[in-house]
Every structure is written in structure tokens, then in C-alpha cells.
Amino acid sequence: MKVFAAVCRCGSITKAAAALHITQPAVSLCIKELEQYYGVQLFDRIAHKLYLTDEGAKLLGYAHKIISLFGEAESDLKSWCALESLRIGSSITIGTRLMPGYVKKFRAAYPNVRVFVTIDNSSQIEKKILANELDFAMIEGTVHSENILCEKLRKDLLVPVCGANSAWANRTELRPEDLTEIPFLLRERGSGTRELFDSTLLTQGITVTPEWESISTGAIISAVEAGIGFSVLPFGLVEQSLQQKRLIQIPIRGIRFERYFYLIRHKDKHLSKAVVSFLLQNQFGVQAEKS
């Protein structure tokens, strides 16, 4: 199952063999034996490329569960504190503001547990949860899969901001109809911040096409400070710039951008001792309910 999952992940028998540190014939034999045993074809082999069949996709779902359960058996039956590791996912906002403190607090209590953190936009983190590449994650976006359990952690606020010397700095308020005339600098699609911005404006019948899109909140803040455009960003990430008068917060009449941070995990994912300890250490609940 590990070999099969590696071939699916790498998209190539050669690459899977290199990743697993075994020979290419051994990988090919493993796939052949799986196909013979189940009486199905797992891959279409077209133009020297591998394409997962419907039967292969079904087996891959089971493979992820089997690999996960085997790993849990290994860790649970041994000294977890010395051998376990944590794979945590985080959206960019949470990864910037909160994750360093969470990991530092956990490592102080459990220095022998290795903590691996992946920071990406909420959409990509959700995909990694579904592929069992993460034990759990914290995001601010909406969960889209019924296979993911989520639990509210805390409320977060996004604020409209412009540069202190920009053309909008003297405004005390913006009207919703003004928004289509303003150059917006926004996070990329798939991020929780962008999803909240688009969905909130959509309820007002407003669609904004940004002049800038970036995966880097820092790049957007720098550009807004330079007076290039307007943005809506998490308060915690622009608080220092607001205090130093490099950014100005301009409210939008009748519109408020609020959301929650969520703790998410796959519904079939077992909570290991390391996961439970991390959540308890940071005073999170350990019983996530389906969103």
C-alpha cells in the first residue's frame, strides 16, 4: 500500500522508487501483484505516463487509511513521546500570527516530539488533510469537504486599509458603490482571506477585480503602504502598521468582514497522543464536530 501510494503521489514508478529508496523493478512488481490480486487495472499507461483508473482511485482511498492506521499502531504501541512526530497544517494568517507561539509552547513541554508545520492557503491545506499528509490543521477558510471535521477556535476580523499618504487616506468612510472604482490588492483565490472578501461583497451584489493578487500578505501590506491601492487584511497582520500610522483603516458603510479560525482534521483520522497533547497544551478542545 505504501508503494502504491508513492506511485500515485509521484506520478511515476521511477520517481516512486527513488523516493522509497528501492529498485524500479521492485515497485513495478508490487503494482503488478496488486493488480493481479484484486483483478483490476490500477493505472492507464499512456505515452509513458501513468493515469490513475477509477479502481485505482478507490484503492488509494483505502491505502491512505491503512497506512495511517499502521503508523498509529507503530506509535501508540511504542513510547510516543520519544518516537512520535506531528504534522500540522496552517493557513498563512494563522501561520504568521499564532503558530510560532503554539509550537514553542508545545516544544517546551515535549522537546522530543518533532513538529513539522506546513503553511499554505486554506484550500491547499484542506487538500493535504484529505490526502492524509497532515494530522490536523488550523485555517480561517470555509471547509468544503464532508470528510473533514472542524471546530471553531476563535473569531477574527479583517479591516479595510490604505496607505497613510494615499488618495483615500482623508476619507472617513467608503460606500459600497465606491469599491468598484478603487484599485484593490488582494490575496490569491483559495485563501481564506480572499474567500471571505469575495463572499461578503457578493452578498451586496458587488464584484471586485483586483489589480494585484499575491500569496504574500507581507507583499500586499508593503504595496498598500506605498499607496498603490486598497486592501482588506487580517487586523492582527496590519495592527503594527496601523499603530505606526503607515496604514489607515477606512470602514466600508454597512460591511464588516468577520470570520472564525477553525481546527480541522479528517473524519477518519485517529487523534494520536501527540495530537491530543498539542491541543491540550494550547488549550484547544479535542472533540471536533462536523461543520
pLDDT of 251 > 90? The answer is yes
Do 57 and 172 fall within a single domain?
Answer: no
φ/ψ (deg, to 5) at 22: -130, 175
Task: Kindly state the average pLDDT of the residues 137-157.
Answer: 88
Q: What span, in angstroms and rounded, lies between the C-alpha atoms of 137 and 89?
A: 4
**pLDDT the model gives residue 79:** 53
**pLDDT the model gives residue 85:** 82
- Counting residues of the chain whose pLDDT is more than 70, the rounded percentage is 94
Task: Kindly state the average pLDDT of the residues 257-269.
Answer: 91
Do 162 and 252 fall within a single domain?
Answer: yes
**pLDDT the model gives residue 289:** 38
pLDDT single digits (tens) 8-29: 999 899 999 998 999 999 999 9
Number of domains in the chain: 3
Q: What span, in angstroms and rounded, lies between the C-alpha atoms of 58 and 79?
A: 34
Whether residue 121 contacts residue 73, with contact meaning beta carbons closer than 8 Å, is answered with no
pLDDT single digits (tens) 95-114: 988 999 999 999 898 888 88
Cα radius of gyration rounded to whole Å, the chain:
23
**pLDDT the model gives residue 186:** 96
Q: What span, in angstroms and rounded, lies between the C-alpha atoms of 156 and 142?
A: 13
Q: What span, in angstroms and rounded, lies between the C-alpha atoms of 221 and 108?
A: 33
Q: pLDDT band at 81, cuts 50/70/90?
A: low
Residue 184, C-beta contacts closer than 8 angstroms, at least 6 positions apart = 208, 209, 210, 211, 212, 229, 230, 231, 232
**pLDDT the model gives residue 78:** 57
**pLDDT the model gives residue 83:** 55
Whether residue 287 contacts residue 150, with contact meaning beta carbons closer than 8 Å, is answered with no
C-alpha distance from residue 207 to each of 177, 178, 180, 182, 184 (Å): 10, 12, 7, 12, 11
Coil vs helix vs strand at 71: helix
**pLDDT the model gives residue 76:** 64
**pLDDT the model gives residue 192:** 87
pLDDT of 88 > 60? The answer is yes
Q: What span, in angstroms and rounded, lies between the C-alpha atoms of 59 and 223?
A: 47
Q: Which domain holds residue 252?
A: 155-259
Q: Say if strands 85-90 and 49-52 run parallel, antiparallel, or are unpaired.
A: unpaired
Task: Kindly state the average pLDDT of the residues 226-247.
Answer: 94
Q: pLDDT band at 154, cuts 50/70/90?
A: confident
Q: What span, in angstroms and rounded, lies between the C-alpha atoms of 34 and 62?
A: 13
Q: pLDDT band at 288, cuts 50/70/90?
A: very low
pLDDT single digits (tens) 33-63: 999 999 999 999 888 788 899 999 999 999 9
Helix (H) or strand (E) run with residue 287 in it: none
Residue linked to cell 518516537: 83
Do 236 and 283 fall within a single domain?
Answer: no
CATH number at residue 57: 1.10.10.10
Domain end (from 61, 76, 91): 76
Domain end (from 76, 95, 120): 76
Do 44 and 180 fall within a single domain?
Answer: no
CATH number at residue 128: 3.40.190.10
Q: Which of 147, 137, 155, 140 is nearest to 279 (CA)?
A: 137
Do 85 and 144 fall within a single domain?
Answer: yes
Rounded (10°) angle between helices 54-76 and 273-281: 70
